[in-house]
């Protein structure tokens, strides 16, 4: 309408305009045309705009536009560290320290991106193989490092606290405890040591190491201390039990399988193959009755499944307080976290699986948030790999992609591969940089120019 009106005005003006047309005439004509169009808009466009808005609103109800999600970015505060050959691998922060592997060895940095110290030449963290696979974390401001058969404990300044030689096997520290075997293979000593290398107790019949047919030893591991209890494996009777924080046996090894303690309870499997929960004295708090292993009481409830796959949430008294209202939908329920929240994918009738929303549910089983998969492209087969009271890190599509969401389901950050957030920081894929939960790159690593 506007275009046709404007064309008529110009055509009429050309008929009456003096020949040749003066610039002043055309300037006045343009202003007059603008007034005509403005008047037409005031009288007619109100209804047209309303109709257009209605159509737009109706369309948005069925199709939502994708949102732009930030990726890690550099700021004026980003630090640059030059490393010959570049950084090969970045490890997560622990005790305020992260280790960086490069072609010449290893060094440590702090949370501000400043270099702290180098590992001794030829040494690498215990728990990491020669190719960089494994975990490299400080524990109680200590770390075990090794070079061949030599092992050392270093502190958070990089100073050697204690050294061992002729070490056959050793595992990383877990909550201030490690196990080490050293000496000749025909007469080796296997013992637990604390973070300073002091012998706590010989492992004896409750060894975390077992002899192999070749006469060597192969390790299981030292398990973390959870709720004042630490798992151990008795290689003699092939059963599981628990130590206390002083490495004393408080629950004898009598269970086929066990889990970690959370909120005073741990999963345990009896000789009949059924699962239940034990208390910190080893007594059954919830009798063994489940064929499928229930989830731990990390949060207020445990997720259990019956033989047909129907999901239930159970309280610490063993009461099934919630049952999946639509088990045929396969809504992929998860265990409750320590934040008192959980997630599941809601498959409603008529909703394509590719856009089924991820629902965030609280301890009263009410929806408190939602990841709208019409807006955010994210796969439903992901897992929460890190979280705090502000956000959770969701990894999906065969561990390739990561997203940070708040607990309302709003996307905060996205990044390709990379590690898990730890102490508020995350390592990028390929040893390039560390970034925070806002996406701000704290420090980047670059190769030398020549």
Tell me the pTM.
Answer: 0.81
Cβ–Cβ < 8 Å for 408, 399: no
Q: In this structure, what are the phi and psi dihedrals at residue 15, rounded to the nearest 5 degrees?
A: -70, -35
Q: In this structure, what are the phi and psi dihedrals at residue 34, rounded to the nearest 5 degrees?
A: -60, -40
- Strands 341-345, 358-362: pairing is antiparallel
Q: Which residues pair with 444 in a beta bridge?
A: 80, 433
How much is the pLDDT for 213?
A: 33
Beta carbons within 10 angstroms of residue 52's beta carbon: 11
182: which residues sit within 8 A by CB, 6+ positions away?
A: 151, 164, 165, 166, 167, 168, 170, 188, 189
**What percent of the chain lies above the pLDDT cut of 70?**
81
Cβ–Cβ < 8 Å for 262, 298: yes
Strand, helix or coil for residue 168: strand
Q: What is the DSSP letter of 136?
A: -
Of 240, 247, 277, 283, the closest CA to residue 262 belongs to: 277
Full strand arrangement of the beta sheet holding 199-202: 167-170, 177-182, 189-194, 199-202
pLDDT range class, residue 19, cuts 50, 70, 90: very low
Tokens matching residue 92: 């997560």
Task: Tell me the CA distances in angstroms from 405 to 341, 360, 398, 447, 448, one per residue in order.
Answer: 13, 11, 19, 33, 36
User: Region 382-389: what's the mean pLDDT?
Assistant: 95
How much is the pLDDT for 348?
A: 86
How much is the pLDDT for 235?
A: 78
- For helices 2-16 and 23-62, give the axis angle rounded to 10 degrees: 170
How much is the pLDDT for 42?
A: 39
- Strands 391-396, 124-125: pairing is unpaired
Q: Is residue 104 over pLDDT 70? A: yes
Dump the DSSP string for 91-135.
Answer: ---BTTEEEEEETTEEEEEETTS-EEEEPPTT-EETTB-TTS-B-
Residues in the chain: 450
Q: How many CA atoms lie within 13 A of 436 on its CB side?
A: 12
pLDDT (tens digit per residue) in 180-206? 888 876 677 778 899 999 988 755 444
* CA separation for the pair 101, 124 (Å, rounded): 9
Residue 322: alpha-carbon gap to chain centroid: 27
pLDDT (tens digit per residue) in 289-317? 999 999 999 999 999 999 999 999 999 99
* CA separation for the pair 88, 81 (Å, rounded): 13
C-alpha angle 101-106-110 in degrees, rounded to nearest 5: 90
So where are the chain's domains? 2-46
The string over 11-21, giving b where at least 16 C-beta atoms fall within 10 Å of a residue's C-beta and e elsewhere, is eebeeeeeeee
Q: Is residue 95 over pLDDT 60? A: yes
How much is the pLDDT for 222?
A: 83
Task: Report the number of secondary-structure helices (H) and strands (E) in the chain.
Answer: 2, 36
């Amino acid at each position: 309408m506007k275009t046709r009106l404007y064309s008529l005005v110009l055509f009429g003006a050309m008929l009456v305009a003096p020949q040749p047309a003066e610039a002043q005439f055309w300037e006045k004509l343009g202003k007059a045309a603008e007034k005509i169009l403005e008047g037409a808009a005031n009288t007619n466009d109100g209804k047209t705009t309303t109709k257009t808005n209605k159509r737009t609103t109706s369309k948005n109800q069925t199709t939502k536009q994708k949102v732009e999600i930030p990726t890690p970015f550099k700021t004026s505060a980003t630090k640059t560290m030059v490393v010959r050959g570049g950084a090969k691998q970045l490890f997560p922060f622990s005790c305020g320290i992260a280790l960086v592997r490069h072609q010449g060895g290893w060094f440590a940095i702090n949370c501000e991106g400043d270099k702290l110290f180098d590992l001794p030449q030829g040494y690498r963290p215990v728990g990491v193989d020669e190719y960089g696979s494994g975990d490299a974390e400080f524990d109680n401001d200590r770390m075990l490092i090794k070079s061949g058969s030599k092992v050392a404990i270093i502190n958070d300044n990089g100073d050697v606290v204690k050294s061992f030689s002729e070490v056959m096997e050793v595992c990383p520290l877990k909550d201030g405890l490690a196990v080490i075997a050293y000496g000749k293979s025909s007469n080796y000593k296997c013992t637990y040591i604390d973070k300073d290398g002091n012998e706590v107790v010989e492992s004896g019949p409750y060894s975390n190491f077992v002899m192999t047919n070749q006469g060597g030893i192969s390790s299981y591991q030292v398990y973390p201390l959870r709720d004042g209890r630490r798992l151990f494996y008795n290689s003699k009777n092939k059963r599981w039990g628990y130590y206390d924080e002083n490495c004393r046996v408080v629950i004898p090894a009598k269970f086929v399988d066990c889990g970690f303690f959370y909120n005073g309870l741990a999963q345990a499997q009896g000789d009949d193959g059924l699962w239940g929960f034990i208390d910190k004295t080893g007594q059954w708090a919830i009798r063994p009755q489940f064929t499928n292993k229930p989830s731990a009481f990390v949060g207020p409830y445990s997720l259990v499944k019956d033989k047909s796959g129907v999901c239930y949430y159970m309280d610490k008294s063993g009461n099934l307080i919630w049952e999946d209202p639509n088990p045929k939908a396969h809504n992929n329920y998860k265990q409750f976290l320590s934040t008192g929240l959980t997630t599941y994918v809601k498959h409603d009738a008529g909703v394509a699986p590719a856009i089924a929303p991820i629902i965030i549910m609280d301890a009263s089983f009410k929806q408190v948030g939602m990841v709208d998969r019409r807006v955010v492209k994210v796969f439903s087969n992901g897992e929460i790999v890190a979280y705090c009271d502000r956000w959770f890190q969701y990894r999906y599509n065969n561990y390739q992609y990561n997203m940070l969401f708040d607990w309302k389901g709003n996307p905060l950050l996205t990044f390709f591969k990379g590690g898990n957030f730890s102490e508020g920081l995350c390592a990028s894929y390929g040893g390039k940089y560390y970034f925070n939960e806002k996406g701000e790159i704290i420090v980047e690593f670059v190769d030398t120019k020549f």
